[in-house]
């Protein structure tokens, strides 16, 4: 009991210290600058809204590169209102829509890339699953999949029907808040099973779902990842840092140490070869990591890593578990309010 009380007191004190210190900053996570039909993970910010976000950052904040922030953190002198922009995954729109706007406002950014998707003729698996499941059409009432020796069975019942109206309603609905029994919940439920699989097995299952759903096998141009030449062009100049985000975007803590090491190390090697520059920043896919993952990242020669924990950066932040806040498709006013809220939290 005593230990619990001490921990609680420590948490309250830490929160208070964070609130009072002016030496704090924050890291923003973006994924895509694009407008799409459905966005079940809130990954897209429209070009107009991204432009507005950058305008706000330039006007009222102190935009830094991730490496500048890490250096300042190490020297215990984080400048006031420091904000870092990061992107995860490696969508093609990062080059076509995000980079020109970053250049317009002279704001640096780090792009974390999953190298196995570069130049591939397949969508990121969560997008492919969305294309198969969340299209407005009738699906068979039962789905049965055998994964790793386990049988998974879904009865879709009412979710077998999915109209254009349902689709519109779910357009910006957050998947993790989906109502049980809905098509969106069905999508989320398969997503959870696929998340911990390795690429080959996941691909096999996606092919089975494709056949079951009688869906379009062609990847969408709107959802493609960067080509090697686009990645090189994105990396050009002083504003952009390229960071690693594994090869196949696995749920790292569910994998063996050897596989984790291969994924982390290989993505660094691949990127350094592609862009001809050292790669020293990493971000954990899904923010997921174990104590071993952190050790591997340290031993692979990275000097910082980003997580998806939602918090500010302050003098006691861990360089290998830097928290970030998710930027959503907010307009200027909403973004301004959100930043104030985060800085005062
Ligand atoms: Zn990711």
- 295-318 pLDDT per residue, tens: 999 999 999 999 999 999 999 999
Q: Using an 8 Å Cβ cutoff, are 291 and 321 in contact?
A: no
Q: Report how far ligand 1's centroid is from the alpha carbon of 264 (Å).
A: 13
Q: How far does residue 304's CA lie from ligand 1's centre (Å)?
A: 16
How much distance in Å is there from the Cα of 88 to the middle of ligand 1?
A: 5
Q: How far is the CA of 90 from the centre of ligand 1 (A)?
A: 8
Band of pLDDT at residue 3, cut at 50, 70 and 90: low
Output the six-digit token pair for 220. 């969408």
pLDDT value at 4 more than 90: no
> Ligand 1 centre and the CA of 245: distance in Å?
7
Q: How far is the CA of 55 from the centre of ligand 1 (A)?
A: 26
**pLDDT value for 6:** 66
Ligand 1 centroid to Cα of residue 157, in Å, is 32
Would you state the structure tokens that stand for residue 206, as one six-digit string? 């996606």
Terminus-to-terminus CA distance in the chain, angstroms?
28
Classify residue 76 as exposed, middle or buried by CB count within 10 Å of its CB (0-12, 13-18, 19+): exposed
CATH of region 21-121+222-343: 3.20.20.370
pLDDT, one tens digit per residue, over 10-63 is 888 888 887 777 779 999 999 999 999 889 899 999 999 999 999 999 999 999
Predicted pLDDT of residue 86: 98
Structure tokens given for 299: 């031993």
* pLDDT value of residue 218: 86
Angle at Cα 182 formed by Cα 179 and Cα 184, nearest 5°? 85
Q: 148 falls in which pLDDT band (50, 70, 90)? A: confident
CA distances 315 to 16, 109, 238, 282, Å, are 14, 21, 26, 20
Intervals of CATH 3.20.20.370 along the chain: 21-121+222-343
Q: How far is the CA of 182 from the centre of ligand 1 (A)?
A: 25
Confidence band, pLDDT 50/70/90 cuts, at residue 231? very high
Around 106, how many Cα atoms within 13 Å sit in the side-chain half-sphere? 4
Q: Which residues pair with 325 in a beta bridge?
A: 28
Which phi and psi angles does 303 have, rounded to 5°? -110, -5
Q: How far is the CA of 173 from the centre of ligand 1 (A)?
A: 20
Tell me how far the alpha carbon of residue 251 lies from the centroid of ligand 1, in angstroms: 10
Q: 327 C-alpha vs ligand 1 centroid, how far in Å? A: 14
CA distance 220 to 214: 16
Q: Look at residue 286 in the predicted model and tell me its pLDDT.
A: 95
225 CA from centroid of ligand 1 (Å): 12
Q: Where are the beta strands (DSSP E) in the chain?
A: 25-30, 32-33, 44-45, 62-64, 82-89, 109-113, 142-147, 150-155, 240-244, 281-283, 304-306, 325-326
Within 10 Å of residue 315's Cβ, how many Cβ atoms?
Answer: 16
3-state secondary structure of 157: helix
């Amino acid at each position: 009991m005593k230990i619990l009380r001490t921990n609680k007191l420590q948490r309250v004190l830490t929160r208070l210290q964070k609130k009072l210190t002016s030496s704090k900053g924050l890291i923003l996570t973006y994924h895509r600058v694009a407008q799409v039909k459905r966005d079940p993970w809130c990954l897209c910010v429209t070009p107009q809204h991204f432009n507005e976000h950058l305008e706000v950052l330039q006007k009222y904040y102190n935009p830094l590169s991730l490496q500048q922030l890490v250096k300042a953190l190490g020297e215990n002198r984080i400048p006031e209102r420091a904000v870092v922009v990061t992107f995860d995954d490696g969508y093609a729109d990062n080059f076509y829509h995000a980079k020109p706007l970053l250049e317009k406002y002279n704001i640096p950014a780090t792009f974390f890339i999953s190298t196995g998707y570069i130049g591939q003729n397949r969508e990121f698996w969560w997008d492919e699953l969305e294309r198969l499941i969340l299209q407005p059409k009738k699906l068979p009432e039962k789905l049965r999949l055998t994964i790793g020796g386990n049988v998974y069975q879904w009865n879709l019942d009412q979710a077998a029907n999915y109209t254009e109206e349902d689709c519109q309603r779910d357009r910006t609905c957050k998947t993790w808040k989906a109502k049980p029994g809905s098509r969106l919940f069905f999508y989320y439920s398969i997503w959870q099973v696929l998340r911990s699989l390795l690429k080959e097995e996941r691909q096999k299952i996606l092919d089975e779902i494709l056949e079951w759903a009688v869906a379009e096998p062609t990847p969408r141009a709107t959802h493609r990842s960067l080509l090697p030449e686009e990645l090189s062009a994105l990396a050009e100049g002083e504003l952009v840092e390229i960071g690693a985000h594994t090869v196949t975007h696995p749920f790292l803590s569910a994998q063996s140490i050897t596989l984790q090491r291969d994924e982390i190390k290989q993505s660094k090697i691949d990127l350094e070869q592609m862009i001809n520059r050292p790669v020293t920043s990493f971000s954990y896919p899904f923010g997921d990591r174990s104590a071993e993952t952190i050790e591997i990242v340290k031993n692979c020669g990275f000097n910082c890593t980003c997580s998806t924990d939602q918090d500010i950066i302050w003098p006691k932040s861990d360089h290998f578990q830097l928290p970030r806040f998710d930027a959503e498709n907010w307009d200027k006013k909403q973004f301004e309010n959100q930043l104030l809220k985060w800085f005062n939290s």
